[in-house]
Amino acid sequence: MNQLPHITKAFTFEGEVVSTGLYGNGHINETHLVICKDGDKERHYILQKINKRVFKDPAGLMGNYALVTEYLRAQILARGGDALRETLTLVKTVDGKNFYEDETGEFWRATLFIVESDSFDKVERPEQFYQSGVAFGNFQALLRDFPAEKLVETIVNFHNTPDRFRQFKEALAADVKGRAASIPEEIAFVEAREGFMHLFEDAHAAGKLPLRVTHNDTKLNNILFDKHTGKPICIIDLDTIMPGYAINDFGDSIRFGATTALEDETDLTKVNFDISLFELYVKGFLEGAAGGLTETEIGFLPEAAIMMTLECGERFLADHLQGDTYFRISRENHNLDRARNQFKLVSDMEKALPEMHKIVEKYAK
Ligand code: ADP
Ligand code: GN1
Ligand code: MG
């Protein structure tokens, strides 16, 4: 059944909409699968309501989205690829725009659904993680010459870890739900690492860490894999493409993928950093980036894994303190569970740091 007729009629979908339904496991946007019948052909689309609390400038965001997808399309075509599968394709509205603003002020966009594809919340085969490293490394390489000044910053200070700490302290001071008293250990865990959080900002200020055009949300379920070959086809979730540090794209993938459990597993005995997956991703990412990283960037890869995992855990914890207004939850204390899970990984990585450096050195040669 088409539960969103007032929205779907605004887009140039081909055929008649026969059903719409919620889709995927993203924490931010509201994602729907739209199925249309066009004669005997079935056409699938993704329709998303952009989360306005998270993205304050949806029109600016959609400007980025259109620029980046057009840029990627040209690059993919130039190398003889299939642009309809290897990047997202926006479906225009009936009045020729890239997004639709409904009568309540909500923003919607639609893209072609990439058929015969899967996304994963957990690594299913080690080879898959290696391939995702190649794909994200290559994605950065593809965007190396993209004119960064054309992009709006869709979330200001998105991976500015010291600023995330400041926001965490604000949430803690406000303690609007009265939850702080019950989580002293988690709060102490974050506070003990405040010094470390400055590492990249300091290196950048000293001219040692360049800003590049980065994806900024490189978790495994933001890649679509071909159902038949198992190979990555398309990088999705382009909402946070903006200037950032290349190493954070690496780190965020490790955070989500180089673990033995899902991001919200509550049994922490099952949550372990998997250094063999780390190694596979290092190999893939460096191959995909094809020599595009500086020595300093490569040297920071292990710290980036810790930084992104710590920052994400801290963001989950801040959201728990704030009353779960940012990340979508589906149970009580969901964000607290996610934070504990991330902190367990941080502890594991801190212990494994010398070994992680050795691995990076091996592949950097
Ligand atoms: P969020 O920002 O909420 O994470 P995403 O853009 O990542 O939203 O979409 C959520 C999920 O929907 C993805 O993990 C993926 O499984 C699926 N998805 C999104 N876009 C497409 C597409 N064009 N084709 C197929 N699946 C898609
Ligand atoms: C969010 O949008 P999604 O679900 O792919 C978040 C990321 C977090 C991630 C944690 C815009 O990603 O920063 O790392 O959840 N995206 C935004 O799973 O905040
Ligand atoms: Mg996503």
Q: Do the domains spanning 4-115 and 126-364 agree at the CATH topology level? A: no
pTM: 0.97
Q: Where are the domains of the chain?
A: 4-115, 126-364
Looking at all shown ligands, the one closest to residue 119's CA atom is 1
pLDDT exceeds 90 at position 296: yes
CA of 34 to the centre of ligand 3 (A): 18
State the helix-helix crossing angle for 184-191 and 334-364, rounded to 10 degrees. Answer: 30
* pLDDT tops 90 at residue 365: no
CA of 324 to the centre of ligand 3 (A): 18
- pLDDT, residue 1, reads 85
Q: Buried (b) or exposed (e) across 303-332, using 16+ Cβ within 10 A?
A: bbbbbbbbbbbbbbbbbbbbebebbebeee
Instruction: Give 298-319 pLDDT, tens digit per residue.
Output: 999 999 999 999 999 999 999 9
| CATH class of the domain whose range is 4-115 | alpha beta
For residues 24-48, give the mean pLDDT.
96
**Strand, helix or coil at 294?**
coil
- Whole-number Å distance between alpha carbons of 191 and 173: 13
Task: Estimate the crossing angle of helix 334-364 against helix 301-322, to 10 degrees.
Answer: 170
Query: With bands split at pLDDT 50, 70 and 90, how would you rate the model's confidence at 2?
Result: confident
Report which ligand 1 atom has the smallest distance to the Cα of 238: 6
Q: Separation of 94 CA from ligand 2 center, angstroms?
A: 30
Atom of ligand 1 nearest to the CA of 239: 2
pLDDT higher than 90, residue 206: yes
Q: Which ligand is nearest to the CA of 240?
A: 2
Four-way CATH pick for 126-364: 3.20.20.220, 3.90.1200.10, 3.40.50.880, 3.40.50.300: 3.90.1200.10
Which atom number of ligand 1 is nearest to the Cα of residue 237? 6
Q: Please state, for a pLDDT cut of 90, what percent of the chain lies above it.
A: 99
Note the pLDDT of residue 295: 97
Q: How confident is the model at residue 106 (pLDDT cuts 50, 70, 90)?
A: very high
